[in-house]
Amino acid sequence: MTYTLRSLLAVAFVLALQAVGHGQTTSPSELRDRLRERFDLVLLQQGVALVPRDAGSSVRMIQVVDGVVTVDGSTLTGAQLRERLGADADVVLQVSYLDRNGQQALTGDAGAASPGPAASQGSSASAVERPQVQRGDRVRFGESVSVSRNERIDGDVVTFGGSATIDGEVTGDVAAFGGRVELGPDAIVRGDVTTFGGPVSRAGGSQVLGDVNEFGGRGMGRRDGRGGFPGMFFGSLWSRVWGLGATILRLTVLVLIGLIVVAFGRTALEGIGARTAVTPVRSGLIGLAGQILFLPVLVLTIVVLAVSIIGIPLLVLVPFAVLALLLVGLVGFIALALQIGGRLVGRLGWNAPGPYAAVAIGVAAIGALTLLGKLAGIAGGFVLGLPLAGLGYLVEYVAWTVGFGAALLYWYERQPRFGRKQAPGAPMEPSPGV
């Protein structure tokens, strides 16, 4: 008997809640004001979407379609909605009671009240009809991609080596590798917008329901303020893959440059490499001093040349001097890679390789830790990936510094000095390991 009574009371309570909801007397203007305080409104083809304004909200998007409320893809009952949204559940239920015209008027008013060029023209991105619908992704290689105002793409929009122009609606993500993303005033992107090597340009009235990320454009990482410390180094999966690819490309370019330098200057490379092996600490200190003094000496040189009439024409040579110094550092790095490659092969007991193979092995050995860190970051191992990548960059910096110092030392020792003559036929220091 007690159980039956409790059941009847529960049913009566639910019916009372529904009666209160359906008998809602809140005016459209009051409902609109309450919605503005908590949500951004997006009109869908068969309903409306509510996006919380609070960046720390646990709810990403609420959809009301044909009276059915869906929170982040899960359909909820009235009781579940109140448990999930709390006080916001009442205003969401009131939106579900509105018909199509009521929802359109509601979002139209909200869109017209928002600042921006689109609003001043009396248009709203959420009220645009998209008669042309494409199912699936739109992907382009080596060219730009665009979505017109009357189009809706049910999928992702991706371009490699081009830019993406979105004037219509994209239900998935938008990504541009090596280009920019431009969002028109009527653009709606329900996923994330990501660029690698280009900026994101948004017109007033454009809507992005996901995150906006820029890598290598105007900024680095997420632009919604929620990237955090890990995202600064690894970011999303696409950014981690991009970082690994950039590292591989950088090391490959160094190997190719090394092969060219070996072909035309093997003797100098062996001499510089010998100094990195005999006096690595001295070479490193000289390289560090050169890095520290580079900028002050450059500024002082420019000032001295600028204040003297004879020196003014010589200012045009300053960029070439800077380029020459950078080439010295590059040659020093290649020489060190040649030395490391030869010694590494000798330690492993392999057949002695030629200088070309030794350079490739040496560059790969110097960048190995960086590559391991990038791979660990892709696998999701941030705790392991960040230290490995940081240690890898440190190893590369030390290699560049030691090579730079050894190249400066080699150049200095080969300069004729007053009062000192080199004995005829005096042998140079041998190059061990290669």
Is pLDDT above 70 for 264? yes
Q: What value does the mean pLDDT of the chain take? A: 75
Is pLDDT above 70 for 353? no
Percent of the chain at pLDDT > 90 equals 12
Q: CB within 8 A of 425, min separation 6: which ones?
A: none
Q: What is the pLDDT of residue 17?
A: 45
Is pLDDT above 60 for 114? no
The more confident residue out of 71 and 285 is: 285
- Among 106-110, 130-134, 415-419, where is mean pLDDT lowest? 106-110
Is pLDDT above 80 for 413? yes
Range ranked top by mean pLDDT from 90-104, 192-206, 341-355: 192-206
Is pLDDT above 50 for 299? yes
Is pLDDT above 70 for 33? yes
Range ranked top by mean pLDDT from 69-78, 188-197, 341-350: 188-197
Range ranked top by mean pLDDT from 1-5, 100-104, 394-398, 425-429: 394-398
- Among 55-59, 248-252, 346-350, 421-425, where is mean pLDDT lowest? 421-425
pLDDT band, very low/low/confident/very high, at 116 (cuts 50, 70, 90): very low
Q: What is the pLDDT of residue 279?
A: 87
Q: 74-86: per-residue pLDDT in tens?
A: 777 777 777 777 8
Query: Position 313: which residue type?
Result: P
Q: What is the pLDDT of residue 117?
A: 38
Q: Beta strand 68-71 with 212-215: parallel, antiparallel or unpaired? A: unpaired
Percent of the chain at pLDDT > 70 equals 74
The more confident residue out of 289 and 321 is: 289
Q: What is the pLDDT of residue 381?
A: 60
Q: What is the pLDDT of residue 432?
A: 44
40-53 burial string, b = 16+ CB within 10 Å, else e? bbbbbeebbbbbbe
Section 264-268 average pLDDT: 86
pLDDT band, very low/low/confident/very high, at 42 (cuts 50, 70, 90): confident
Section 372-379 average pLDDT: 81
Q: What is the pLDDT of residue 22?
A: 42
**Three-point CA angle 434, 256, 241, nearest 5°:** 115
Q: Which of these, 332, 329, 364, 370, lies nearest to 255 by C-alpha position?
A: 364
**Three-point CA angle 102, 108, 114, nearest 5°:** 145
Specify whether the CB–CB gap between 62 and 90 falls below 8 A: no
Q: How many CB atoms lie within 10 A of CB 317?
A: 12
Is pLDDT above 50 for 430? no
What Å distances lie between residue 434 and 232, 282, 344, CA to CA?
Answer: 41, 22, 10
Is pLDDT above 50 for 55? yes
Q: CB within 8 A of 421, min separation 6: which ones?
A: none
Section 16-40 average pLDDT: 62
pTM of the model: 0.46
Specify whether the CB–CB gap between 163 and 180 falls below 8 A: yes
Section 395-408 average pLDDT: 91
Section 356-373 average pLDDT: 89
> Is the C-alpha dihedral spanning 414, 416, 419, 425 positive or negative?
positive
Q: Which of these, 322, 315, 371, 363, lies nearest to 341 by C-alpha position?
A: 363
pLDDT band, very low/low/confident/very high, at 125 (cuts 50, 70, 90): very low
Q: CB within 8 A of 288, min separation 6: which ones?
A: 401, 405
Sheet with 220-222, strands from edge to edge, namely 138-141, 157-160, 174-177, 193-196, 212-215, 220-222
Three-class DSSP category at 262: helix
Is pLDDT above 50 for 227? no
Report the C-alpha gap between 11 and 279 in whole angstroms: 88
The more confident residue out of 261 and 12 is: 261
Q: 96-112: per-residue pLDDT in tens?
A: 777 777 777 766 644 43
Report the C-alpha gap between 370 and 393 in whole angstroms: 6
Is pLDDT above 50 for 23? no
3-state helix, strand, coil in the chain (%, to 5): 55, 15, 30
C-alpha of 86 from chain center: 36
